[in-house]
Chains A and B, each alone.
Chain A
Amino acid sequence: MDTAQHIENFLQFLTTGLLTGTIYGLMCVGLTTIFGIMRVINFAQGEFMMIGMYAAYYCFGLIGAHIYFGDYIAPFIAALAAAPIVYLLGISIHKLLVSRVTGVESNRLDSEGHYAQLILTLGISLILSNGGLVVFGSTPVSISTPLAWTAWPIGPLSGERILVFVNQKEAIAAVIAVAVVIAFSAFMSRTRIGRSLRAAADNSIAAIYMGIDVNKAHRIAFGLGVALTALGGGLLASGTAFQPFVGIEYVIVMYAGVVLGGLGSLWGAFFGGLTIGLIRAMSALFLPYQLENTAIFVCFLAILLLRPDGLFGKSSRQV
């Protein structure tokens, strides 16, 4: 390979990394919302993403055939539709299970209460992923949209030798992801609900005295957090094959991004996710593709060990 080809490869992976990284960023925002407000490590986040993917897949099947340009627009509508579905699932699971060991309830647990939360969400993760196998089957599926194999060429650059392709589906998905994160950030800082969620996060006892229903705030936060991640999953679901155990890979991707950005910080998580997306794509430059995930996991360990407070965030080590 000559230099121009190297540069072309580099630019191509950079583009792909940025686009998928944006979606990782959105998923990380979901995870960090739950941690930031509830102080709970949700181990089942990857499974909520998986359910988002399947929800989008079935919504696509439902609406894709019925609207004009269905194959072009429906994947994104389906992804957006997955969010409220998973929101409802999230608040139900919070009400039934999670709320019993978190929030106000966790005050009466001793230090082992935190392990109870972690282990409970591990159990939920097992139920959802294996239950997913029962319900959805083990054959990988994907949302098929012509956009996933259509690209806008950029170039030719540098004397007709370098040509970079921007995948149309990934580009539109990235735009949606950024828009959602901006909207969510505004929601958290501008609206009454957003502000009361943040109050519940800063000091749950004080929030109770101020008349905020902390349990309800946590429930909304949990629902919103899993819905955002599910939306990210829905956006990934077109063009990528997935099966019910896809969550476990992504839970590491998400935690890597969230820890990199400083646990609990919204924009930190977004840029953390973006960085992880870049690392994943760039690893293809010098590693066989089977080791893409290993690269992410090693990277995750390195982040935990070297920068447990995140690159941008403040101290969050005392969880």
Chain B
Amino acid sequence: MLQPNKHRHWPWIMAFVGAYALLSLVIDNDYYQRVMTIVLVWAVMGLSWNLLSGYSGLVSFGHAAFFGLGGYFVVLSQIAWQWSPWLSIPVAALIGAAAGLAIGSITFRLRGHYFALAMLAYPLALLYVFEWLGYQEVTIPRVTDAPAAYMQFHDQMRVYVFIGLGILVLTMMLSRFIEEHRFGKSLLAIKQDETAAEASGINTRAWKLRAITLSGAIAGGIGGFYAVVQLVVTPPSAFGMLVSAQALTVAMFGGVGTVWGPVIGAVTLVPLSAWLDARFAQDLPGIQGVLYGVAIVGVVLLAPEGIFWRIKDHFKRRGIDPTPGGQGSTQLDAAQRLSTQQTYDDPIIMRVRDLSKAYGGLRAVDAVSFDVNRGEILGLIGPNGAGKTTLFNLLNGLTKPDEGSIVFNGTEIVGAEPNKICAQGLGRTFQVVKPFRRMSILENVIIGAYVRARDDAEARTMAELALDLVGLADDAQRIAGTISNEQLRLVELARALAGRPSLLLLDEIFAGLSHSEVDALMERVKRLSTLGITIVIIEHTMQAMVKLVDRFIVLDHGSVLTQGTPSEVTKNPEVISAYLGKKWAENA
């Protein structure tokens, strides 16, 4: 099944919690209990980091911002309003969530390195603000009459281990839930190719915001708990670089993208660092930081995916369980079910008017106007640099036009996000294939189905239908990174089909294929057309296309040179001189 480990994780989590609790009951030493608590704090912090960065691939260097806000809130709210941590820790989680939402909505405009660097600035800016406010060292007031009501168990450190375990289990459950559902799959798709995810109908911004909000909530809550255990917060212990780095390190060291990674990382590194600290801190004050640095460097160079995946790979080849799905559908079924689409009366599915896009002085697309008739196969041809791919990017919303209008199924779509345009029934493939390489073929196609599916089971069914239709049903479980170019093009086609588009944009899907492969693919495209899907297809060679398309639009230097049936276009003298050249004229 799609989530092979769904049921196998729970016994492990329960066993871990049981063993940990038992160990805590056996040990009779406050210092060890404290270390065991701190391990749990960093495991949860690592899970928080993993939830955003591990799944979505957006590396955060700034998780200390959430952690520190949570810590300071718990301490200050007790001082100012006598709030008990039992109340203020959940509120700290809400504050972390709000901070995550706020930071995310500003910072998600950036990608890659810029995102990581920007995230670094938030906790450091907060650090100086809290120093300036005079909160150099704030201590939780001791409550002697009712310590339990204020979560003060410093003479029974064991209680903190149990509270920490409770928070850890909650966080692991949340992480597992996300991993198993559309949420996690969407984040994984974003991690592997954000553009392709967006064009497949994934609302990338919304998912990223949800991820950073949840991640911030977890970090804020555990930051509050950490303050209670430590009894004191200082700007460096709350917002310092080492806080963000430790969250990242335990997750990366243990394994990114799994609930077990941060737990393994914390269980290994935190006791080691506590031991080093106790043993050498007198002579070597920075030894803990050095340890985390060495752990990061080592894991990047030796096991970039982390210990968990290393061990798992060692015992079993990674990949998903090849149990076939429950749908024994034939290709005919698939065809029928995919073709059940909303019906429109308008014979013109898309109207493009005066569409323009310039890059500097280059007018890549220049006042282009054309109609796409419902049900036709339209060939968009032109030499390299004629603006074909730019035009596709404008049509599916990846690029915003400078001016012009695109009306698709009666709705103006200029300015809409690609995922919204995809949801309205416009699918596309890419000239340079953009598969999600770490996922199986089936998972790739499921991503494309989410835009229409109500739940994961339906998405799976729709994906299987689409795979049937392109003839990849037997290869569904193979990993996309390992298959041939021809198959990758089929995967992209199936991914676009899974969203049940009424209009499909195909960008040079024949590029790099052999003659026989081109012929086979052409048959498939024709079949899609008979199902009622309108197709616009880009090619720079006209020869192959003459047999396939109903109509041609010829682009040159960003504008429409001419349009018409294949026979009209190939006889057009302008086309012959500007594009096809003399050789074509002689052969034709």
Give me the interface of A with B, judged by CB distance under 8 Å: 41, 43, 97, 100-101, 110-112, 114-116, 118-120, 122-134, 137-138, 244, 248-249, 251-252, 255, 259, 288, 290-294, 297-298, 300-301, 304-305, 308, 317, 319
A12 vs chain B, min Cβ distance (A): 23
**Contact in complex: A122, B61 (CB < 8 Å):** yes
Residues on A with C-beta less than 8 A from B131 are 290
Q: Are B292 and A319 in contact (CB under 8 A)?
A: no
Interface pair B125/A298, CB less than 8 Å apart: yes
Q: Is the CB of B290 within 8 A of A130?
A: yes
CA distance A133 to B281 in the complex (A): 11
Query: Is A111 a contact of B124 with CB atoms below 8 Å?
Result: no
Contact residues in B for A130 (Cβ distance below 8 Å): 286-290, 293
In Å, the complex CA distance between A134 and B129 comes to 28
- Within 8 Å CB of A290, what residues of B? 128, 131-132
B285 close to A (CB within 8 Å): yes
Q: Are B128 and A134 in contact (CB under 8 A)?
A: no
Q: What 12 new A-B contacts, CB under 8 Å, besides A252-B120, A305-B110?
A: A115-B59, A118-B113, A122-B296, A127-B290, A129-B289, A133-B289, A134-B287, A291-B132, A297-B124, A297-B125, A305-B107, A317-B114
> A319–B125 contact, CB under 8 A?
no
- Other-chain residue from A128, A291, A301, A319 in contact with B128 (beta carbon distance below 8 A): A291
Within 8 A of A (CB), among B40-56: none
| Cβ-defined partner of B286 (8 Å) among A244, A248, A297 | A244
Whether B301 contacts A101 by the Cβ 8 Å rule is yes
> Are A112 and B297 in contact, CB atoms less than 8 angstroms apart?
no
Task: Determine which of B107, B118, B125, B245 lies in contact with A122 in the assembled complex, contact meaning CB atoms within 8 Å.
Answer: B245
Q: Contact partner of B57 among A115, A244, A252, CB < 8 A?
A: A115
Chain B 135-174 near chain A by CB (<8 Å), digits 1 or 0 = 0000000000000000000000000000000000000000
Choice from A114, A118, A124, A251 contacting B293 with Cβ under 8 Å: A124
Whether B121 pairs with A41 at a CB distance below 8 angstroms is: no
A111 adjacent to B289 (CB under 8 Å): no
CB-CB < 8 A to B125: which residues of A? Answer: 293-294, 297-298, 301
- A297–B132 CA distance with the chains assembled, in angstroms: 15
| Among candidates B109, B112, B128, B252, residue contacting A294 with C-beta atoms closer than 8 Å | B128
* Contact A304–B301 (Cβ < 8 Å): no
Q: Does B248 contact A (CB under 8 A)?
A: yes
**For residue B241, which residues in chain A have a CB less than 8 angstroms away from its CB?**
126, 248
Interface centre among B107, B109, B192, B300 (most CB of A within 10 A): B300
A127:B61 contact, CB within 8 angstroms? no
A125 touches B297 (CB 8 A): no
Q: Which residues of A contact B114 (CB under 8 A)?
A: 259, 304, 308, 317, 319
28 pairs across A/B with beta carbons < 8 Å?
Answer: A114-B113, A118-B59, A122-B248, A123-B292, A123-B293, A123-B294, A125-B293, A126-B289, A126-B292, A126-B296, A129-B286, A130-B290, A134-B285, A249-B124, A252-B120, A252-B121, A255-B117, A259-B114, A293-B128, A294-B132, A297-B122, A297-B128, A298-B121, A301-B118, A301-B125, A305-B110, A308-B114, A317-B114
Question: With A and B bound together, what is the CA distance between A129 and B292 in angstroms?
Answer: 12
Q: Which residue of B lies closest to A109 (CB)?
A: B304
A308 to B118, CA, bound (A): 11
Chain A nearest CB: distance from B189 CB in Å? 13
With an 8 A cutoff between CB atoms, is B106 at the interface? yes
Report the minimal beta-carbon distance from A25 to chain B, rounded to whole angstroms. 19
Report how far A97 CA is from B248 CA in the complex, Å.
19
B332 contacts A by Cβ under 8 Å = no
Question: Given known contacts A116-B304, A122-B296, A300-B121, is B132 in contact with A41 (CB within 8 Å)?
Answer: no
Chain A interface SS verdict (over half) = helix
Task: Select one of B61, B107, B296 contacting A120, CB under 8 A.
Answer: B296
Q: Does B284 contact A (CB under 8 A)?
A: yes
**Residues in chain A near residue B110, CB distance under 8 A:** 304-305, 308
A97 pairs with B301, CB closer than 8 A: yes
Q: Complex Cα distance A193/B288, Å?
A: 41
Greatest chain B CB density within 10 A among A128, A294, A319 is at A294
Cross-interface CB contact of A126 among B113, B290, B300, cutoff 8 Å: B290
Do the beta carbons of A252 and B124 come within 8 Å of each other?
A: yes
B521 within 8 A of A: no
Chain A nearest Cβ from B278, distance in angstroms = 16
Chain A residues with CB under 8 A of B128: 290-294, 297
Report A-chain residues with C-beta under 8 Å of the C-beta of B300.
101, 116, 119-120, 123
Q: Is there contact, CB below 8 Å, between B290 and A131?
A: yes
B437 at the interface (CB under 8 A from A): yes
Q: Is the Cβ of B132 less than 8 Å from the Cβ of A119?
A: no
Q: B199 to nearest A CB, angstroms? A: 17
B116 within 8 A of partner (CB):
yes
A304 to B132, CA, bound (A): 25
Specify which chain B residues have a CB less than 8 angstroms from the CB of A123 in the assembled complex. Answer: 292-297, 300
Across the interface, do A118 and B116 meet the contact criterion of CB distance under 8 Å? yes
Rounded to whole angstroms, the CA-CA distance of A298 and B113 in the bound complex is 18
Contact of B124 among A132, A293, A319 (CB under 8 A): A293
Whether A114 and B118, one on each chain, are in contact in the complex, defined by CB atoms closer than 8 angstroms, is no
User: Could you say which residues of chain A place their CB within 8 Å of the CB of B106?
Assistant: 301, 305
**What 1/0 flags go to B237-258 for Cβ under 8 Å of A?**
0000110010010001000000
Tell me whether A120 and B297 are in contact in the complex, defined as CB-CB below 8 angstroms, given that A305-B109, A305-B110 are known contacts.
yes
Top 4 A-B residue pairs of the complex, sorted by shortest distance between their CB atoms:
A130-B289, A126-B293, A123-B296, A133-B286
Residues of B within 8 A of A300 (CB): 118, 121
Which one of A130, A292, A317 has the highest number of Cβ atoms from chain B below 10 Å of its Cβ? A130
**Max chain A C-beta neighbours (<10 A), residue from B61, B107, B293:** B293
Q: Please, which residues of chain A bring their CB within 8 A of the CB of B59?
A: 115, 118-119
Q: Quick one: which of A119, A122, A127, A298 contacts B294, CB cutoff 8 A? A: A127
Bound complex: CA A132 to CA B287 (Å): 10
User: Hey, which chain B residues are within 8 Å of A124, CB to CB?
Assistant: 293, 297
A259 to B121, CA, bound (A): 14
Residue of B nearest to A113 (CB): B304
* Residues of A contacting B284 in the complex (Cβ-Cβ under 8 angstroms): 134
Shortest C-beta distance, B308 to chain A (Å), equals: 16
Cβ–Cβ contact B286 & A132, under 8 A: yes
With the chains together, A131 CA to B289 CA distance in Å?
8
User: Which chain A residues lie closer than 8 Å to B304 at the CB level?
Assistant: 112, 116
B245-A126 in contact (CB<8A): yes
Contacts of B112 in A (CB 8 A): 114, 319
Q: How far is the CB of B523 from chain A (nearest CB, A)?
A: 33
Whole-angstrom CA separation of A221 from B111 in the bound complex: 25
Q: Which residues of B contact A133 (CB under 8 A)?
A: 285-286, 289
B334 to chain A, nearest CB (A): 32
Interchain CA distance A298-B287 in the complex, whole Å: 32
Return chain B residues, CB-CB under 8 Å to A132: 286
User: Which residue on B lies nearest to A39, using beta carbons?
Assistant: B113
